Amino acid sequence: MDSQAKAPVLGIVVPCYNEEEVLPETILRLSHVLDRLTEERLASRSSFMLLVDDGSRDKTWELIEQFQQSNPRVAGLKLARNAGHQSALLAGLKRAAETVDCAISIDADLQDDTEAIREFMLRFREGYDIVYGVRQSRATDTAFKRGTAQSFYKLMKKLGADIEYNHADYRLMSRRALQQLDRFKEVNLFLRGIVPLVGFKSTRVYFDRHERFAGESKYPLKKMLAFAWDGITSLSVTPIRLVTLAGFALFVISLLAALYAIIQKLAGNTVSGWTSLMLSIWFVGGIQLISLGLIGEYIGKIYKEVKRRPLYIIEKDIAAEAETARKAG
Ligand code: UDP
Ligand code: MG
């Protein structure tokens, strides 16, 4: 068959932050997956995994270097400091885009079922540019995480951001989708919200989410909330509009209140009015502060964007050596 000669080069991009406990297992499993895909001619022999060390403080990078020595499927990229999951992912995707036909992003902790990768590749072969991995069940997440995630997706939809329900960053993107992604220059990076904006033909693959294989979540509540907030304010201006609406509503209410006060005055009912006065001062003051804060939030975002700081800094790039090894081997 002709298609056999042209099996696509797949790069699996894995952001890793202090993942020494899971990494050996992750590499093993992904190697198996890649080997099987190669056998089935769903991916070319030069397919690989790109492990992006996001400024880990443990032995993650040493492990990556070690594995790259012995396993030609392993390529490494080291960021100079912890840039965060989204930036690390972007660094990896951009690097991979230089050599691949398609890239799949997956977390290092094996929570996302690696079996779905084969499904992804089948869809890619059918001509889809973007394949979203969608969590079928979140039984292994805590009720709290499920609840908060659920409300987050709902809120995002309400706010007018088009994000894929129950999809995290487990997805396949074709080379041309990656190239288009590269044109989104935002610093407040929320890939889940941006990828749908790229367009092209997309589809979903459903999978079950597992427990973290080892180690603990690198997304404590604080980071999770910051991430959600970033997602909302970088994709939607609805919050700022709501503030304006609230302002208008308050204006109308205060007019009515004034009217009421005048009528009372004319009727001769002396109003001591202290309570209502104090209440309204505090109420309006509060609303004003909230509004100012919100506006400040957006201005802060603009400030960050105009500075155009690099999202991440690459310290070491040993992916090319891995490629040479693959070609030789
Ligand atoms: N991660 C990263 N940089 C960070 C935090 C996390 O590269 O600053 C990686 C982490 O190694 C993992 C992925 O992002 O591969 C998702 O993190 P985690 O599994 O801890 O998040 P959770 O699944 O608990 O939301
Ligand atoms: Mg995880």
Please report the ipTM that was assigned to this predicted complex: 0.94
Domain that holds residue 302: 235-307
Would you say residue 4 has pLDDT above 50? no
Confidence at 190, pLDDT banded by 50, 70, 90: confident
Same domain? 178 vs 251 = no
Same domain? 197 vs 267 = no
Mean pLDDT computed over 3-25:
88
Distances (CA, A) of 72 to 41, 69, 78, 322: 18, 7, 17, 6
The residue with greater pLDDT, 323 or 96, is 96
Same domain? 168 vs 104 = yes
- Please, are residues 54 and 85 in contact by the beta-carbon 8 Å criterion? yes
Mode of pairing for the β-strands spanning 167-174 and 74-79: unpaired
Q: Which atom of ligand 1 is nearest to the CA of 216?
A: 20
Cα–Cα dist 291/139, whole Å: 39
Nearest residue CA, atom 19 of ligand 1?
217
Comparing 17-21, 230-234, 268-272, 291-295, the range with the smallest average pLDDT is 268-272
Would you give the end-to-end CA distance of the chain in angstroms?
24
Same domain? 317 vs 274 = no
Question: How far is ligand 2, taken at its centre, from the CA of residue 170, in Å?
Answer: 11
Structure tokens at 56: 């880990």
Single pTM value for the model: 0.75
Cα–Cα dist 62/58, whole Å: 9
Question: How far is ligand 2, taken at its centre, from the CA of residue 211, in Å?
Answer: 8
Q: Which atom of ligand 1 is nearest to the CA of 217?
A: 20
Collapsing DSSP states into helix, strand and coil, what is residue 51? Answer: strand
Cα–Cα dist 292/300, whole Å: 12
pLDDT value, residue 274: 60
Same domain? 55 vs 201 = yes
Residue 80, phi-psi category: left (phi > 0), alpha (psi -120 to 50), beta (remainder): alpha
Residue 5 belongs to some domain of the structure = no
Would you say residue 177 has pLDDT above 80? yes
Same domain? 54 vs 171 = yes
Same domain? 289 vs 322 = no
pLDDT value, residue 5: 53
Confidence at 250, pLDDT banded by 50, 70, 90: confident
Residues 120, 122, 125, 131, CA torsion sign:
negative
Helix axes 143-158, 221-235, angle to 10 degrees: 10
Question: How far is ligand 1, taken at its centre, from the CA of residue 123, in Å?
Answer: 26
Confidence at 3, pLDDT banded by 50, 70, 90: very low
Same domain? 50 vs 180 = yes
Comparing 38-52, 160-174, 267-281, the range with the smallest average pLDDT is 267-281
Collapsing DSSP states into helix, strand and coil, what is residue 65? Answer: helix
The residue with greater pLDDT, 67 or 233, is 67
Question: How far is ligand 2, taken at its centre, from the CA of residue 212, in Å?
Answer: 6
- Please, are residues 49 and 30 in contact by the beta-carbon 8 Å criterion? yes
Q: Which ligand is nearest to the CA of 56?
A: 1
Cα–Cα dist 219/212, whole Å: 12
Residue 184 belongs to some domain of the structure = yes
Which residues form ligand 1's pocket by a CB distance below 6 Å?
A: 15-17, 19, 54, 82, 84-85, 88, 107-109, 111, 217-219
Q: Which atom of ligand 1 is nearest to the CA of 224?
A: 25
**Mean pLDDT taken over the chain:** 85
Question: How far is ligand 2, taken at its centre, from the CA of residue 230, in Å?
Answer: 19
Comparing 148-152, 161-165, 172-176, the range with the smallest average pLDDT is 161-165
Residue 310, phi-psi category: left (phi > 0), alpha (psi -120 to 50), beta (remainder): beta
pLDDT value, residue 154: 83
Same domain? 106 vs 23 = yes
pLDDT value, residue 275: 62
Mode of pairing for the β-strands spanning 130-137 and 10-16: unpaired
Structure tokens at 271: 């109003």
Q: How many domains does the chain have?
A: 2
pLDDT value, residue 278: 62
Q: Which atom of ligand 1 is nearest to the CA of 82?
A: 8
Same domain? 203 vs 249 = no
Cα–Cα dist 88/322, whole Å: 19
Residue 263 belongs to some domain of the structure = yes
Would you say residue 219 has pLDDT above 50? yes
Helix axes 191-198, 85-97, angle to 10 degrees: 40
pLDDT value, residue 2: 44
Residue 227 belongs to some domain of the structure = no
Structure tokens at 297: 């939030």
Residue 1 belongs to some domain of the structure = no
Residue 295 belongs to some domain of the structure = yes
Nearest residue CA, atom 13 of ligand 1?
107
Same domain? 74 vs 171 = yes
* Residues above pLDDT 90, as percent of the chain: 42
What 304-307 contacts at long range (C-beta under 8 Å, 24+ apart), as own/partner pairs, is 304/187, 304/188, 305/186, 305/187, 305/188, 307/187
Enumerate the β-bridge partners of residue 11. Answer: 48, 103
Q: How many CB atoms lie within 10 A of CB 43?
A: 30
pLDDT 10s digits, 27-66: 999 999 999 999 999 999 999 999 999 999 999 999 999 9
Same domain? 55 vs 169 = yes
